[in-house]
Amino acid sequence: MFLPVSVAEFTEQLLTRFRPIIREEIIAERTAELMQKFISQKEACEMFQPKISRVTLNKWCNDGLLKDYRLGARIYLKYGEVLQAAKHLSRYKKSPQGTASQA
């Protein structure tokens, strides 16, 4: 045996050292995927407290605050772009749960 510790101890040391790094990488990857996720207009409206109307959402898209993505007759928005736009709106701010809320 080349190591002064047992295989089980060595394995546990590796897991202890690398588990937080792996966890951070998984969280970063999931966050990146979430930010690119397409959501419906209804889901986007419900991200705000109080909930905004589709008319308001469409106005924001027409004004260039949000970019909409069309697939046939359906309209989608990117989750991350909705959160980013909420930062620039004076009335709404991002809440701790990852949704936007009224300031």
Which pLDDT tens digit goes with each residue over 61-96? 999 889 999 999 999 999 999 988 877 775 655 454
Residue 92, C-beta contacts closer than 8 angstroms, at least 6 positions apart: 48, 86, 100, 101, 102, 103
d(CA 4, CA 88): 58
pLDDT classification of 103: cutoffs 50, 70, 90: very low
Higher local confidence (pLDDT), 69 or 4 = 69
Choose the most confident range, by mean pLDDT, from 10-14, 38-42, 99-103.
38-42
pLDDT classification of 37: cutoffs 50, 70, 90: very high
pLDDT classification of 20: cutoffs 50, 70, 90: very high
d(CA 71, CA 31): 24
User: Could you give the angle at which helices 7-35 and 79-88 cross, rounded to 10 degrees?
Assistant: 70
pTM (global) more than 0.75: no
pLDDT of amino acid 3: 63
Q: Where are the domains of the chain?
A: 1-35, 38-102
38-40 and 69-71 beta bridge pairing: unpaired
Give the percent of the chain with pLDDT over 90.
52
